[in-house]
Structure 1
């Protein structure tokens, strides 16, 4: 029996290390493909969720044909995901126990889809429950994306993965917003609970996209910033405002459900194209790293030279400590918690730092929520002036502003006071200020 120690040498260890590095990059490339396929299915299910909710909310009067067409488009994506899952359970793919468990959970969800679709077809469930059911399934798929990315084990691509994860999250939040907004518009009636959820989803998207912008490459960041300037973005913002400021139970224009759905879809598609390009960039990076590592593998002398020229980071601190020509400096942290300035942090480190940053942003988010609520009150006050005094939107807002300045009161206080005025007060003011053109 051969003695393992007999084949032990520095060169063998270095060559084996390089081979393991190649295997790790190949696994990452394979995981990038898995993320791509999961992303395609998620996008299909997001669209199915939106049209299904609107179909139920409109009592089957809207989106019936679109819903059937979307279901047909999702079917091959389900099949493709099963095929990729089958590839990833092979021993050489390095799938973790957690990943296999999440794959099983995803398959369980896919197997429940026919029954869910039948219930929706028969209008045997509420629009809210259908949105929640699809969101439940999508959440499991997103959890799998997060785990697969986190298990990549290559700190050098951590920034790219952090950007990808938050982009996926933003896309799902935008998808939920599309579904709830379409549900509200298709129902023809405002609902405060759903309005609050839409406001929350708008906040959540801004958070996710802020992190994406911080970690994404400049070209992708610039593309998203440019997307915010297109006319559709301004149209969507107007529909968002109309939806969020409507009084509970107030009538909504059901004809706007299609417009809302299309505008939200344009936004989601823009996010999806960013995701596709990010995954493509990740694959290209993997291919380049594999090629480079294979070339290094053929140069065993170069690998040994690289080993000597790049000792572990901790040794540098020790050398400085024992250098008699310098004052003694601190030895490396025994826990190894610090990250060298030129070293890429691991994905877990980056996500943890982002979690800490998100915690510090809670005060800012609270201000954002308060601002949204204030805007809602001001918009209602404008609506009252427009309805009762015949003002247009611009004149109504100027009236509120002028009162605010004249009385040295906050605009919000003036808006609240306006909403509390009885009808006869407006009748008296209308007599003194006749409608334009009268």
Structure 2
């Protein structure tokens, strides 16, 4: 402990600053552990939510045993989270008032799981309500992850944190997609509101994963790119297409609910493995920085030299203003200064603000994506109608729509919409004409 009666010196302040830096990195390492355990609880609840969705939508005919197994697994991880919360609340440097409040909110939700699970076991609530209840709790846990990461006082790891936050968000969006899609398949009937939710969740995942890819390290980006080439991705796209293009009220193959759950789980597990890698990388970075800072403490002369060589940014502005070799431009205002170097601007807040601006610029592109998805849905419905009414194959139905589009110089979407609006007698005439052509 420093002697309070000792005279204050520059060296003392610099050494104390380095000690505070070590404390901040150690605190971040503790937070990485908290984020890791919270992430495990989120993943367990996501799986339980998906299985509960199928169980309720199928009226207890599917996933009964699977759901109970997942509930037991979730309970075990919940207990670990409670222990971490208890340790964090006693930590001397630890949780802020906001963190403690979010932890309390999370515990409130975990306590309510007892009643929720009992209702689901008795099939005493609709599947959509169960999905919403789990999502409500998971949203609070994700908020805790965001707060813990945003409170970091270590700017050098900000890129890792931004990548991790958006990866966590993408994982939850994928989990919600699994639950809503499972509900639809298990019910055996298309429902437009839920289908639209799936479309929105697909779009949201793409946005979150774009941010992740931008801020993640090259090795993690390469790992994610490689995962996109796996066969499960193509299977997921086919199942999504079936789900999103079905007419409201049309029959869905309930046997696909198990396949949907498993394929979506593969994707979520891939995202989870990326999150595990990110947390591991964060811990390694913290350990390296602590070691580096501890070595710096042994070199007080080096610390003083770096202090002199790296003055505050504002001093550069003032020096230029009073440099006789440079004509003065304007009096340096409060808050003015040169544009910060990339390393200086690498705080989490700066990165998130910059990304917010980037996402705002992407809205036009996202609108185009939404329109494309809706257009594809209309075209798929028109193909389905031609197949059902005229006995066409899928390929022949699409060729018929394309040919009409070219012959009439109209958009394919317009032709599809016109096809959907044709009355029954029109299809009867077309069927008769088709029969005459075949004779």
Q: What TM-score comes out, normalization by structure 2 length?
A: 0.95
* 1:357-436 correspondence to structure 2 within 5 Å: 357-434=358-435
Which stretch shows the higher mean deviation, 311-320 or 46-55?
Answer: 311-320
Q: Cα offset for 1:278?
A: 0.6
Q: Is contact 2:313–2:337 with CA below 8 Å preserved after alignment?
A: no
Q: Is contact 2:313–2:338 with CA below 8 Å preserved after alignment?
A: no
SS in 2 for 1:7: coil
**Which residue number corresponds to residue 308 of structure 1?**
308
Answering whether residue 160 of structure 2 is matched by residue 163 of structure 1, we say: no
Answering whether residue 218 of structure 2 is matched by residue 243 of structure 1, we say: no
Q: What are the Cα deviations for residues 324-345 of structure 1, in whole angstroms up to 9, with x where unaligned?
A: 2233356655225875033233
Q: Cα offset for 1:359?
A: 2.6
Answering whether residue 266 of structure 2 is matched by residue 283 of structure 1, we say: no
Aligned-partner Cα distance in 1 for 2:91–2:13: 24
Aligned-partner Cα distance in 2 for 1:75–1:436: 66
Q: What are the Cα deviations for residues 296-316 of structure 1, in whole angstroms up to 9, with x where unaligned?
A: 001111111111111112212
Q: Cα offset for 1:224?
A: 1.5
Which stretch shows the higher mean deviation, 237-246 or 83-92?
Answer: 83-92
1:291 and 1:91, CA in 2 relative to 1: closer, same or farther beyond 3 A? same
**Which residue number corresponds to residue 73 of structure 2?**
73
**Which residue number corresponds to residue 211 of structure 1?**
211
Q: Cα offset for 1:436?
A: 11
Q: Cα offset for 1:435?
A: 11
RMSD of aligned Cα (Å): 1.9
Q: Cα offset for 1:3?
A: 8.6
1:234 and 1:97, CA in 2 relative to 1: closer, same or farther beyond 3 A? same
**Which residue number corresponds to residue 299 of structure 1?**
299
Aligned-partner Cα distance in 2 for 1:3–1:79: 44
Which stretch shows the higher mean deviation, 350-359 or 410-419?
Answer: 350-359
Q: What are the Cα deviations for residues 342-384 of structure 1, in whole angstroms up to 9, with x where unaligned?
A: 3233111211222232233223222222211111100001111
**Which residue number corresponds to residue 38 of structure 2?**
38
Answering whether residue 349 of structure 2 is matched by residue 348 of structure 1, we say: yes
**Which residue number corresponds to residue 271 of structure 2?**
271
Q: Cα offset for 1:286?
A: 0.4
1:23 and 1:390, CA in 2 relative to 1: closer, same or farther beyond 3 A? same
Aligned-partner Cα distance in 1 for 2:412–2:143: 43
The number of residue pairs the alignment matches comes to 437
1:412 and 1:35, CA in 2 relative to 1: closer, same or farther beyond 3 A? same
Q: Is contact 2:401–2:412 with CA below 8 Å preserved after alignment?
A: yes
Aligned-partner Cα distance in 2 for 1:240–1:424: 33
1:435 and 1:237, CA in 2 relative to 1: closer, same or farther beyond 3 A? farther
- Unpaired segments of 5 or more residues in structure 1? none
Q: Is contact 1:158–1:344 with CA below 8 Å preserved after alignment?
A: no
Q: Cα offset for 1:257?
A: 0.2
Aligned-partner Cα distance in 1 for 2:186–2:376: 24
Aligned-partner Cα distance in 1 for 2:105–2:289: 33
Q: Cα offset for 1:422?
A: 2.0
1:435 and 1:7, CA in 2 relative to 1: closer, same or farther beyond 3 A? farther
Q: What TM-score comes out, normalization by structure 1 length?
A: 0.96
**Which residue number corresponds to residue 131 of structure 2?**
131
SS in 1 for 2:92: helix
**Which residue number corresponds to residue 149 of structure 2?**
149
Q: What are the Cα deviations for residues 22-45 of structure 1, in whole angstroms up to 9, with x where unaligned?
A: 000000011011101000010000
Q: What are the Cα deviations for residues 166-187 of structure 1, in whole angstroms up to 9, with x where unaligned?
A: 0000000000000000011001
**Which residue number corresponds to residue 92 of structure 1?**
92
Q: Is contact 1:390–1:435 with CA below 8 Å preserved after alignment?
A: no
Aligned-partner Cα distance in 1 for 2:13–2:415: 75
Q: Is contact 1:391–1:436 with CA below 8 Å preserved after alignment?
A: no
Which stretch shows the higher mean deviation, 421-430 or 246-255?
Answer: 421-430
Aligned-partner Cα distance in 1 for 2:293–2:316: 26
Q: What are the Cα deviations for residues 357-412 of structure 1, in whole angstroms up to 9, with x where unaligned?
A: 22332232222222111111000011111112222212211221111111110010
Aligned-partner Cα distance in 1 for 2:337–2:425: 70
Aligned-partner Cα distance in 2 for 1:435–1:276: 64
- Unpaired segments of 5 or more residues in structure 2? none
Q: What are the Cα deviations for residues 198-255 of structure 1, in whole angstroms up to 9, with x where unaligned?
A: 1111111111111111111122112212222221111111111111111111111000
Which stretch shows the higher mean deviation, 359-368 or 215-224?
Answer: 359-368
Aligned-partner Cα distance in 2 for 1:29–1:204: 30
SS in 2 for 1:251: coil
